[in-house]
Structure 1
Amino acid sequence: METTRCAAESSATRKTMRHLLPFLLLMYVLAFLDRANIGFAQHALRHDTGLSDSAFAFGAGVFFIGYALFEVPSNLALHRFGARGWMCRIMVTWGLVSACMAFAHTAPVFYTLRFLLGVAEAGFFPGIVYCLSRWFPQRSRARALGLFYFGAPLAFIIGGPLSGMLLDLHGAFGIAGWQWMFIVEGLLASAVGVWAFWYLDNRPSDARWLGADERNALEAAVGEDARSAAAHGPHSVAGALTDARVLMLAAIYLLIQVSVYGVIFYLPQQVAQLLGTKVGAEVGFVTALPWLCAVIATWLVPRRADRSGTHRGWAIGLLLVSGIGVIVSGMTPSAAVGLIALACAASGFIAAQPLFWTFPTRYLTGAPAAGGIALINSIGSLGGFLAPTLRIGAEHAFASAAAGLAVLGAASLAAALLIAAAVRRQPALQAGNGATQTFIADAQAASASTRRS
């Protein structure tokens, strides 16, 4: 009986990987591209609109204010109404707002549209993390999250050249290249959003592409994880939002995102400077190289971590590599060394994140999971607001571009140290998947007191 169930669960997991992950990956590619493509538009947009360095940095970051404010409400709505309809709503609205960025001819319009883009996209990423926790048991969750995280590097492997070529369409039909980029990439997101309504299912029991025994086995495995999480974590949304472990994880994720977005928003300009050329198709293709390395790391590391239960150790190591890579990329005049350092940075902070998300999903389930995951991502996303300002501020204070990158690298190093201090090894929550690691803060007693209240 147990052997039959394990075989059915294994078959269901493989089918779900094949059916669900490619589509979610497509969605994430478009989401990441629509929030980060202003890095490609930066020079042309500023030339046409007269935006200053500080105005561009504020506009790049204000996206994350709207995003953070509406993360928790959006994810609770997804928990109530289901992923199918809510993901459609998110993608259609953010695609339309992104396309409207073609009309951002003044600073106030630029700020407003970036803020609205954050509001429209709020709930997308934590919604996917929450959905994956309902489709994949803990023993295969890091692998699923790792495949989903391909979206970030793929957004630049595919989107970098695409954005560069769209910028090169400058003047076609009287439309500027940066306007072409926003219009085409935004409308693509809306089209995929409509497709999502017909493609996605809310839960394994709705999946007609699985056999009955596979649906039952997958529901049973996910249900066992949920019961174990409920025994170790908060039992209400309010409890999750005030849980000491959730807040510590949010602080760690904030530091990771400072490093991530401080690099992403300026990567095309940094690569162009290393190559001694302007941003265009050539820079788009070269910019894709660090993200290709990140794809390889994100494919290999979560699989190794799932097999060995070394999620914590790998996360710490990757963030240390990332921080050092960011710092070195700003200190070297060599294009080759700079690109290698950027490849290490991208590989580190992308591959570390699916490992990070296994920590909260071990003890959050149901509505508390929807709220807690959203809060972690909400606070973490403020790193995208802080990163451009911190980078520009450090560059101006020390009159050096290397200083800005040193601040971003230090954030990644600090995240690694916090994981080492606050996350410790725990026995497996599920039999059969070896030694695993989960998050237990030193403030566990305070968390338990919060749940009792």
Structure 2
Amino acid sequence: MDLHQLEKSTVRKVTMRLIPFLFLCFAISILDRVNIGFAALRMNEDLGFSEAVYGFGAGIFFLGYFLLEVPGSAMMTKIGARRWISRIMVSWGIIAIVMAFIQTPIQFYIVRFLLGVAEASFYPCMVHYLSGFYQSKHHAKAIAGFMIAIPAANAIGSPLSTFLLQIDWLGLAGWQWLFILEAIPAIILGVVCFFYLTDRIEDATWLTGAEKTWLLDVTRKEALEKQKVKKPTFLEVLRDKDVLILALGYFFWMFGYYGINMFLPTISRGLTESTGWSLQSIGWLLGLMYLCAMVVMYLVGKSSDRQNERKFHVAGCLIVSATAMIASVYVAETSLIGAFVLLTISLCGAFGAYSPFWAIPPSFLTGAAAGGAIALINSIGNLGGFFGPYFVGFINDLTGSHNLGLTVLGISMIISATIIVFLVKQSGKSHKVNLGRPLDPANSSKLG
């Protein structure tokens, strides 16, 4: 077997062994993060939660996530990614089951906060783990392989969650079974992860001797090159103006994105009350909407790569998403179908921006600096996931309608687009902080 064939077979084996499993793990994490939106359809009434209480509880997940992401990543480097990923999944699965037995707002807030704490650093851990099994030129493709799990989890989880809401076993309500049954796979996969994954290439019994030798050789050479380059400190990344601008843009984007995502089942239920639609019908409809978003996410990433342009793809998607979101408020008064079409377009825009956005940091940062920037942008930006849902719930309690909340969410995404267009440097033409090899975690076009 020549060197090219050896590389091809090794990369294929690594991909088939790791990507489907990590895709499944990531999809379960997204499902357990957002299934609260479906549980709210019954939980809020059973427990007497107001929209503001629900919005605060849904969003506080991201506060725990923000506070523990960096410490969690540091712990992962000490005990190993395999063990840490396993611990994350088992602990969040257990906490997600506890969600089924909350009774008061305080209990709701505490458990949701702890769920964010448990899941914090999950994504960086998976990125770090894969970096040990791939050359840098294959790394982006590997990360993109499980990132598509974000819309996929929503597409599958929507009809599944509405189905579980309707069961009534052993004296527990459907929303309680939703939390229990969707959390159990996390615990199972967490245990499987400990035995299925291997921390080192040397321990990968599923590779042949020749494949191990080749992979060890190329990854060690890259590691040696990396050691020759100065590593940036966290403060150096923190002081980079463009990183902070991206974090700010991501904050306003996530404010709008999670504001709509956490309330979409409730909004959909409100829109269809007069039609007599069943919960299951709503679930299938939402699943179709997220499926459309998954396709658009892939196509936008492919277009962004082909044109080698990032920020206008991001801004264009966010403006389309915001415009459709705001328009749905007014169209809903006369056309239910029109409202759902616009909400689907809004979801497509919100998801479509992911790939080109995460390709921006490596355009002016490389190596560990890019990794640090990604962690910082993700941490700060996801705070928007705390404020967005809480704002929507508060405004709904105040006005009795989601209309004002949706309008503000749309404006927030327009602000994000404006920040990215006018303040972020053009991709590929900005300064380079040469601190190692580039890391592009979200170039979804590499899937094709």
| TM-score normalised per structure 2 | 0.84
**259-268 vs 123-132, which deviates more?**
123-132
Q: Deviations over 1:9-62 (max 9, x none)?
A: 555444443332221211111111111111111131112211122111111111
Cα distance in 1 for residues equivalent to 2:277 and 2:57: 22
Change (3 A) 1:64 1:428: closer
Q: Deviations over 1:70-101 (max 9, x none)?
A: 01011122233322111000000000000001
Q: Please, which of 40, 54, 57 is the counterpart of residue 55 of structure 2?
A: 57
| 1:275 corresponding residue in structure 2 | 272
List alignment gaps of at least 5 residues for structure 1: 431-435, 439-453
Q: Please, which of 251, 254, 273 is the counterpart of residue 251 of structure 2?
A: 254
| 2:445 corresponding residue in structure 1 | none
Q: How far off its partner does 1:403 sit?
A: 1.9
Change (3 A) 1:317 1:121: same
Cα distance in 2 for residues equivalent to 1:154 and 1:325: 22
Change (3 A) 1:174 1:257: same
Cα distance in 2 for residues equivalent to 1:81 and 1:142: 25
| 2:319 corresponding residue in structure 1 | 320
Q: How far off its partner does 1:217 sit?
A: 5.8
Q: Deviations over 1:416-451 (max 9, x none)?
A: 222223131326999xxxxx999xxxxxxxxxxxxx
1:22-41 matched pairs, under 5 angstroms: 22-41=20-39
Change (3 A) 1:328 1:202: farther
Contact persistence 1:79–1:370 (CA under 8 A): no
1:253-402 matched pairs, under 5 angstroms: 253-276=250-273, 277=276, 280-333=279-332, 334-361=335-362, 363-366=365-368, 371-395=372-396, 400-402=401-403
| 2:428 corresponding residue in structure 1 | 426
| 1:201 corresponding residue in structure 2 | 198
The amino acid of 1:274's aligned partner reads L
The amino acid of 2:425's aligned partner reads V
Q: How far off its partner does 1:291 sit?
A: 0.7
Q: Please, which of 184, 191, 216 is the counterpart of residue 187 of structure 1?
A: 184
Change (3 A) 1:360 1:85: farther
Cα distance in 2 for residues equivalent to 1:259 and 1:278: 27
Contact persistence 2:322–2:413 (CA under 8 A): yes
Cα distance in 2 for residues equivalent to 1:329 and 1:230: 54
Q: How far off its partner does 1:155 sit?
A: 1.6
The amino acid of 1:78's aligned partner reads M
The amino acid of 1:101's aligned partner reads M
| 2:446 corresponding residue in structure 1 | none
| 1:88 corresponding residue in structure 2 | 86
The amino acid of 1:290's aligned partner reads M
Local SS of the residue matching 2:170: helix
Local SS of the residue matching 1:424: coil
**240-249 vs 109-118, which deviates more?**
240-249
**130-139 vs 160-169, which deviates more?**
130-139
What RMSD, in angstroms, separates the aligned Cα atoms of the two structures? 3.3
Cα distance in 1 for residues equivalent to 2:310 and 2:419: 14
**250-259 vs 174-183, which deviates more?**
250-259
| TM-score normalised per structure 1 | 0.83
Q: Deviations over 1:203-228 (max 9, x none)?
A: 65654444566564697479659968
Matched length:
427
Cα distance in 2 for residues equivalent to 1:437 and 1:176: 45
Q: How far off its partner does 1:165 sit?
A: 1.3
Local SS of the residue matching 2:91: helix
